């Protein structure tokens, strides 16, 4: 299983903070995001509205990363401020 976490506005819009996904559902972070978008039309809208920052096992990643059972993937919106 892969533990998926949602933070900030994403968590609020999706209505949950975390879920478990079978490792066989996605071999990498791009496939995982595509899989989550298919979960529900609302999810497609929320996860496609803006780029999601992502972290794998608490390390920020900027590219597609292979996933394994036991990994933790976090998605959150870009941070803005001034």
pLDDT in tens, 20-66: 999 999 999 999 999 999 988 999 999 998 788 999 999 999 889 99
- CA dihedral sign of residues 21, 27, 31, 35: negative
Residue of 77, 73, 64, 82 lying closest to 20 (CA atoms):
73
pLDDT greater than 70 at residue 80: no
Residues 4-31: what's their mean pLDDT? Answer: 94
Is the pLDDT at 81 greater than 80? The verdict is no
CATH 3.40.50.1000 holds for 2-76: no
Asked whether residue 79 carries a pLDDT value surpassing 60, the answer given is: yes
**Domain edges within the chain:** 2-76
């Amino acid at each position: 299983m892969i533990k998926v976490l949602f933070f900030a506005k994403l968590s609020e819009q999706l209505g949950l903070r975390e879920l478990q996904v079978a490792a066989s559902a996605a071999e990498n972070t791009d496939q995982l995001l595509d899989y989550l978008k298919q979960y529900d039309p609302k999810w497609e809208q929320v996860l496609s509205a803006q780029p999601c920052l992502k972290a794998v096992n608490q390390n920020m990643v900027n590219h597609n990363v292979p996933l394994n059972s036991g990994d933790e993937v976090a998605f959150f919106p870009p941070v803005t401020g001034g």
